[in-house]
Structure 1
């Protein structure tokens, strides 16, 4: 919680000046924003399915975050202005409805792609962990069969089998 000095009243923060001013402008901006966000979600889902590099997926996430915040703010402002929404032209209402449906479909597809990609990544990590664990459980000392019929001692094995380690930082 921000500390506020009550001795000196602070002027109210003005809304950002670049936001749409009326319902028509908000609805038009929202249709455009939903279209761009839908395309970004579709690109991200395709990139996840194509197993594109993490840097590419991270860049898409960086693009998605501010667009999502603006979408939330404009849609909230539009929902509050009921009279303005009622006065919108029918074709703009139809465009809003279609853009909303496309955005929801792209969001569901994106969520499914991310879920499946996460599960696939978990399988790979679990396989590597199991292999490293098996390698680390190798006996520290080995009795060589060639030295007296299994009674001799050989130094502990070295090399890739004992130097296996798991990088736990993902």
Structure 2
């Protein structure tokens, strides 16, 4: 038995407003799949257009609850086999078309995200390579590649390339 603190009454949790029968579920599912397909297409276009991260984060934020509701309503509809079988043919056709469009948008979205991720990785690897090369610069003022010989050249600046004066001579 759960303990309840009676000193601080808790608000009643809102109950989910899910469709009650197969027909309502199918209609809601078609509408939800149309909205989710449009959102996935918008996200794919934003990734390809390299929109700011804030905009992409908002799309993801909008997508998550829709996806959760889609999963729950579709599960409820799949479990109700008798209700699913008794749906009107035009509603079954609408479900099939919406499902096909959603799957196509999902595949396109996955490809856009994969390509965007690969492009981001190339850019990050390039920046890391440049920084690594800069950090491997010689730490002394006498370097063969600076000035073509044993001459003095000013050392590169930065924390890893500081020079010290030998005062023991």
- The secondary structure found in structure 2 opposite 1:135 is helix
Question: Which residue of the partner structure matches residue 59 of structure 2?
Answer: 60
TM-score (norm 2): 0.80
Whole-angstrom CA distance in 1 between matches of 2:111 and 2:80? 34
1:76-103 CA-to-partner distances (Å, cap 9, x unmatched) read 0000101101110000000000000000
- Paired residue total: 150
Q: How far, CA to CA, are the matches of 2:127 and 2:112 in structure 1? A: 23
The CA deviation string for residues 56-77 of structure 1, in whole angstroms up to 9 with x for no partner, is: 0000000000000000000000
Aligned-pair CA distance for 1:110: 0.1
TM-score (norm 1): 0.80
Contact 1:47 1:57 in 2 (8 A): yes
Q: Partner residue of 2:47?
A: 48
Superposition map of 1:72-111 within 5 A: 72-111=71-110
Q: CA deviation at 1:151?
A: 5.5
SS at match of 1:158: coil
Deviation at 1:159, TM superposition (A): 5.4
Q: Is the 8 A contact 1:135 1:161 kept in 2?
A: no
1:150 aligned partner: 150
Structure 1 runs of 4+ with >4 Å offset: 144-147, 159-162
1:134-149 equivalent positions in 2, closer than 5 A: 134-143=133-142
Say if 1:160 and 1:49 are closer, same or farther in 2 by CA, change over 3 A.
farther
Shift in Å at residue 161 of structure 1?
9.4
Q: CA contact under 8 A between 1:141 and 1:155: conserved in structure 2?
A: no
Mapped to 2, the partners of 1:112 and 1:129 lie a distance apart of 26
CA distance in 2, matches of 1:127, 1:155: 27
| Counterpart position of 2:28 | 29
Name 2:165's counterpart in structure 1. Answer: none
Gaps of 5+ in 2: 4-12, 162-169
CA RMSD of aligned residues (A): 2.7
Q: Which runs of 5 or more structure 1 residues have no equivalent in the other structure? A: 7-13, 163-170
The structure number with the bigger radius of gyration is: 2
